[in-house]
Amino acid sequence: MSERITLTSRSDGFALSAYRANPKGTPIGGVLVIQEIFGVTPHIEDICSVFADAGYVAIAPSIFDRIEPNFDAAHDQEGIQKGIAAVMKSPWPQVVADMQAAIDALPQPAYATGFCYGGAAAWMAAAQCSGLKASSCFYGRLIANLLDRKPQIPVMLHYGAHDASIPPENVESVRLAAPDSPLYLYDAGHGFCRAGSHDYNADARELAINRTIDWFARWR
């Protein structure tokens, strides 16, 4: 059970689209799902469905709607450059406000998770958004640049041990800055949760998602 909804950003009143997946019964809470640089893709919709199946309302806001409505970038070099350009045009205060709009539309208790760029955004949500109980960040390379933004809620972290885009020292800096946050390394590369990726690892994805669901339940 899914639908497209419209959110109103707290920063400038901008109307941005979002994907919402609903559980079959009464929801046990809500999950903010934050996109990769490629937009709200079938992968992100699939992640929303996973949380809906676990009993949560899941909302994935289209963070780059100001740049291009229903933003979509291919998983190739051109698409990566398009996504990076979108990140550069999306200041964190604006992104935080857009994430807050999604949180405000979720039932409580609410949580956040995100992948790649979204992993860093989930860290920022933990630091600067209100109404969240816990966050789970997947392979967020940019987190190492955001360590001065201290999470105000419990955070869990997931990385691929063979991720060529995130050097070990990046991960170690996050570990040292957040010693109380569980940090897991998987026998996988970058994007191991995204089916179709050359680094997709079904076992690592299942383990990481189950850990996230258990983590959210812990802080209910």
Nearest to 43 by CA among 109, 124, 113: 113
- Let me know how long the chain is: 220
Three-state secondary-structure class, residue 121: helix
DSSP 17: E
- The radius of gyration of the chain's CA atoms, rounded to the nearest angstrom, is 16
**Annotated catalytic residue, options 129, 163, 193, 199:** 163
Please confirm, yes or no, whether 116 is among the known catalytic residues: yes
- Residue 163: active-site member: yes
The catalytically annotated residue of 65, 190, 193, 199 is 190
Q: Tell me, what amino acid is at 7? A: L
Cα separation, 117 vs 40, in Å, equals 12
Can you list the positions of beta strands (E) in 127-219? 134-138, 155-160, 183-186
Q: Which of 116, 129, 137, 193 is catalytic?
A: 116
The catalytic residues are 116, 163, 190
